[in-house]
Amino acid sequence: MALAPNALCFGDGLPGAGVPCVVELFPEGLRVAPMGETPLVEQVVAFADMAVQAGGLDHDQLVVSWGTGSSARTVYVKDPAVIVAFRRAAPPQLTAHLDRAAEQVRRARHSHRLLWSSMFGVVFSLGLLLWFGTDLIVEWAVAKIPIEWEQKLGETVYQDFLSKETVLKEGPAVSAVQEMTQRLTEKIPHNPYKFQISVVQSPVVNAFALPGGYVVVFTGLMTKAESGEEVAGVLSHELNHVLQRHGLERMVKMLGLAAVVGIVLGDQQGLTGLAKQVGMELVTLKFGRAQETEADVTGIRLLSDARIAPDGMIRFFERLSEKDKERVEVFSTHPMSAARAALLKAELAALPKRSPEPFTFQWKTIQDSLGASELKK
């Protein structure tokens, strides 16, 4: 009856994946018999001619080496019965090597237990923190996400959204938004993002930003705005949501423990898959009051640095405040538009006085290209 292979043999002239072989114990040492067609011949290796150590991924294999130069051979034995028998039969000169090998195995297994225990503890602790709603773990998790990951997450949702919409590829409106974006982004110090802005045909009076530097501006916003400076104010606000990583914070909070585990394990593909599952929820994601206020303040500062008239942003919120009269602020996650306008006025008053530089386009021409004149009649 043929014996099943219980080891792999490696050496010069042998396949890189090793040759299956049968290892048997004799009083003088080991008999190594190859299986199948192979240049390896059967050998009997004396204990006195071999060296032993622990090997394999988990240090649970007995590694026996002998020979020199082109005749050097190494056998990896994983069969526990053979390993136990080998230890019992080993002469005194190999005892120290075997003890060292056994110690390596014990250390490796202890390290693995500690690793998995620590991992479980970290994940369990993070889960508790998320369960109780603290923002500390969200901030920690966001700080651990590289910009490259964030861009991939945002791009996945961005491309999926655009595939279902009518995107303007060229024309006055697109050129105007590109000019606004260029002037704003040129004044962002140490900007890690390559912003991508798309103009989407839609009556929605809004714009939104996704993690990684992806922004969508709806034509409805451009038709209702009274100036390019108003649209630039909204755009600056959205760019600062990205710069402050607000969208990423909301995404991690929404995905909860699954996102944190992915970050701890370095699982970029897993995070991207989660982002795909909640794609439309990310598009409609609402920012908290503190995040909206931060985007307002940093947004008006960026407008000032870019020499775009900041009062356009203020006028936009003042007009929105007319629609806020029926809303009770305590039930809203967003600051009331009137309060936002007042805050921006105070912030603007504290900024250095700079003369704004007009855009190269005429706003009426932009709106006419979108049919805004007909809509306003």
- Classified as helix, coil or strand, 279 is helix
Question: Is position 122 within any domain?
Answer: no
Question: Is position 352 within any domain?
Answer: yes
Contact 193, 146 (CB under 8 A): no
Last residue of a domain, one of 105, 126, 155: 105
Q: Which of 138, 341, 335 is nearest to 245 (CA)?
A: 138
- pLDDT (tens digit, 9 = 90+) per residue, 265-305? 554 565 555 555 555 555 666 777 888 889 999 999 999 99
312 and 176 housed in the same domain: yes
Place of tokens 């009269």: 325
Q: Running DSSP on this structure, what letter comes out for residue 187?
A: T
Q: Which of 124, 131, 112, 132 is nearest to 58 (CA)?
A: 112
Last residue of a domain, one of 58, 85, 105: 105
Contact 111, 52 (CB under 8 A): no
Q: Is 207 a residue whose pLDDT tops 70?
A: yes
- pLDDT (tens digit, 9 = 90+) per residue, 326-375? 444 433 445 556 777 788 888 888 888 889 999 999 999 999 999 854 34
Q: Is 309 a residue whose pLDDT tops 90?
A: yes
276 and 328 housed in the same domain: yes
Q: Which of 331, 341, 221, 247 is nearest to 293 (CA)?
A: 341
Structure tokens at 163: 């595939």
147 and 99 housed in the same domain: no
282 and 324 housed in the same domain: yes
- pLDDT (tens digit, 9 = 90+) per residue, 145-186? 788 878 887 888 888 889 889 999 999 999 999 999 999 999
Structure tokens at 86: 């080998």
Last residue of a domain, one of 105, 127, 144: 105
170 and 231 housed in the same domain: yes
- pLDDT (tens digit, 9 = 90+) per residue, 39-88? 778 888 888 888 887 766 555 678 888 888 878 888 888 888 888 888 88
- Going by pLDDT thresholds of 50, 70 and 90, the confidence category of residue 36 is confident
232 and 308 housed in the same domain: yes
- Classified as helix, coil or strand, 218 is strand
The more confident residue out of 211 and 16 is 211
Backbone angles phi, psi at 220, to 5 degrees: -60, -35
In this predicted structure, what is the pLDDT of residue 327?
43
Question: Is position 115 within any domain?
Answer: no
* 106 half-sphere exposure, CB direction, 13 A CA radius: 6
- Going by pLDDT thresholds of 50, 70 and 90, the confidence category of residue 114 is low
Q: Is 234 a residue whose pLDDT tops 90?
A: yes
- In angstroms, the CA 313 to CA 237 distance is 9
- pLDDT (tens digit, 9 = 90+) per residue, 310-327? 988 888 877 776 665 544
- The tally of domains found in the chain comes to 2
Q: Is 308 a residue whose pLDDT tops 50?
A: yes
The more confident residue out of 85 and 130 is 85
Contact 333, 287 (CB under 8 A): yes
In this predicted structure, what is the pLDDT of residue 125?
55
In this predicted structure, what is the pLDDT of residue 332?
42
151 and 64 housed in the same domain: no
Contact 32, 75 (CB under 8 A): yes
222 and 294 housed in the same domain: yes
233 and 347 housed in the same domain: yes
Question: Is position 99 within any domain?
Answer: yes
Q: Is 195 a residue whose pLDDT tops 80?
A: yes
Backbone angles phi, psi at 134, to 5 degrees: -75, 145
Question: Is position 365 within any domain?
Answer: yes
- In angstroms, the CA 346 to CA 296 distance is 12
Q: Which residue range(s) make up the domain with 355?
A: 136-376
In 159-313 the beta strands, taken as DSSP E runs, fall at 167-168, 196-200, 207-210, 214-218
Integer angstrom CA distances of residue 83 from 18, 62, 77: 19, 7, 7
148 and 92 housed in the same domain: no
Taking the model in full, what pTM does it have?
A: 0.59
Question: Is position 228 within any domain?
Answer: yes
Question: Is position 113 within any domain?
Answer: no
191 and 280 housed in the same domain: yes
Using CB atoms within 10 A of its CB, is residue 328 exposed (0-12), middle (13-18) or buried (19+)? exposed
In this predicted structure, what is the pLDDT of residue 336?
56
Largest Cα–Cα distance in the chain?
A: 104
In this predicted structure, what is the pLDDT of residue 179?
97
Structure tokens at 341: 């306008």
> Average pLDDT in the 185-209 region?
92
Question: Is position 234 within any domain?
Answer: yes
Backbone angles phi, psi at 132, to 5 degrees: -90, 10
| CATH classification of the domain holding 90 | 2.30.29
143 and 69 housed in the same domain: no
- Going by pLDDT thresholds of 50, 70 and 90, the confidence category of residue 119 is low
The more confident residue out of 167 and 130 is 167
- Going by pLDDT thresholds of 50, 70 and 90, the confidence category of residue 6 is confident
Q: Is 102 a residue whose pLDDT tops 80?
A: no
In this predicted structure, what is the pLDDT of residue 376?
47
